[in-house]
Amino acid sequence: MKWKTLALSLPILLSGLVIVALIKPAREYMADSNGSELYQKNCATCHGANLYDGGMAQSLLDGVWQFGDGRGYVTRNIKFGIPHIGMPSYEKTLTEKEIEDIVDFLYSQETAAGAKKPDPPKMIETLDYEIGTEIWVDNLDIPWAIVFLNENTALITERPGNLRMVVDGQLLPEPVAGIPEVLAEGQGGLMDVNIDPNYSSNGWIYLSYSHALEKKPAEKRPAAMTRIVRGRIRDMKWTDEEVLYEAPHETYRFTRHHYGCRIVFDKKGYMYFSIGERGAQEQAQDPTRPNGKIHRIYPDGRVPEDNPFADVGLPTLYTLGNRNPQGVSVHPSTDEIWAAEHGPLGGDELNLIRKGINYGWPEISYGKNYNGSILTEYTRKEGYEQPALYWKPSIAVCGIEFYQGEAFPKWNNKLLVTALKYEEVRLLDIEGDRVMHQELILKNFGRVRDAGMDPEGNIYVVVNKPDRIIKLFPIGER
């Protein structure tokens, strides 16, 4: 018996009504109740006495992590529930220890967590196309981003600190030598890779990564912040490196999460990059701090003179109040910048990025703190921009990319949106500043970190757990 996945939150529907499992008060349980007994009393009615035979909800060993891959997600799903699909909250009926015992039981089965995800089917049907799939590259180490240099060659970043090259569909065995040293701790490491709009003539390649200062004697660990560099690759070696952005060292932080960071270019000659608030949410509102912001510079590192916060803060700042934007993309027709950012427990956002706008974090939010407590009473407030779209519960939105290509012409100017927790790729139809429609085109084959296109427009989906790249290509129209 192989461990599949924990589907703690699938729809429980009967005659159009949501059925919620009956829950006994936790105080009725004996102090020595173990996870197996607690599961039978609270979970078996819906998910099946044997975990795999299901009930009103699907099996917990069905091969699909629907709402988060990992103990933290599982614990939160049990504790806070997922109301929109009928998964009840056990926060008031089970103690922290009892919830922990249930999670221990689920992970202690012979099929322990972490088993290999199934491969996607050879053909997927969408509203517009029949799509073929293939595992393009496998056995990577936490891939984070992908960009194509030409029709035959792609670069992939691995978060632990490797820049990998794929030539004619084959992953070269050795990474590019000599790239900057990264701080590969927590959510940090080597993040985005992009190429200059004039790459064919100048060869510039751009990287974002977590950069650490030298640890001082009194410090337990070094301070770190997001850094941007560019360089060229010659004979599989990183050369001609230039540091384009390095935050003031006094703003570096000792946390190891919420670094951002995506890099994009518009047609006016500007480069944009994102930095998460690094866990210091109040600093997202502080224009003297780099974190929790979208930045704008020129590709050579120069700072535009008309950046909006130069008189009151850091000259590179373009927006304020962005929690952790791990998705940024430029609309091919309008040249507008769009960004997707992680919310806390609920409240992932898609924002149209405009000069000088404050996007509100943490003054307004559609989410809660991870412990379920109130983060802010406000979802709207004067002076703060509303998102074009928000997801509640959070899908753990990550990389986004406007589609442009000949492979799927009906999708041109539509936005590919990836999600870690929900393990999916969505296609959004955007009209002006409004999202008109969302379509799910891929789900349940790993945590999706990014999506990119080759020059023909075939789509490459960057997946974690398992660490691979899935290629999507057209078979026929519908």
Annotated catalytic sites, by residue?
258
CA distance 360 to 163: 35
Q: What's the residue count for the chain?
A: 478
CA angle, 16 as apex, 13 and 20 as ends, to 5°? 40
Task: List the structure tokens of 203.
Answer: 């060869």
CA distance 375 to 421: 21
Cα–Cα distances (Å) from 58 to 7, 51, 103, 197, 448, in that order, read 7, 9, 17, 47, 23
Task: List the structure tokens of 119.
Answer: 């491969």
CB 403 within 8 A of CB 456: no
CA distance 314 to 251: 11
Instruction: Describe the crossing of helices 71-80 and 96-107 by its angle, rounded to 10 degrees.
Output: 130
CA distance 143 to 156: 7
Q: How many CB atoms lie within 10 A of CB 230?
A: 23
Contacts of 201-204 with C-beta under 8 Å, sequence gap 24+, read: 203/232, 203/233, 204/230, 204/231, 204/232, 204/299
The closest of 410, 413, 405 to 430, measured between CA atoms, is 413
Task: List the structure tokens of 75.
Answer: 């614990």
Please list, in sequence order, all residues whose beta carbon lies within 8 angstroms of the beta carbon of residue 100, skipping any fewer than 6 positions away. 75
CB 364 within 8 A of CB 379: yes
Please list, in sequence order, all residues whose beta carbon lies within 8 angstroms of the beta carbon of residue 82, skipping any fewer than 6 positions away. 8, 9, 67, 393
CA distance 163 to 177: 8
CA angle, 259 as apex, 258 and 264 as ends, to 5°? 125
CB 163 within 8 A of CB 206: no
- Determine whether 234 is exposed, middle or buried from the number of CB atoms within 10 Å of its CB (0-12, 13-18, 19+): exposed
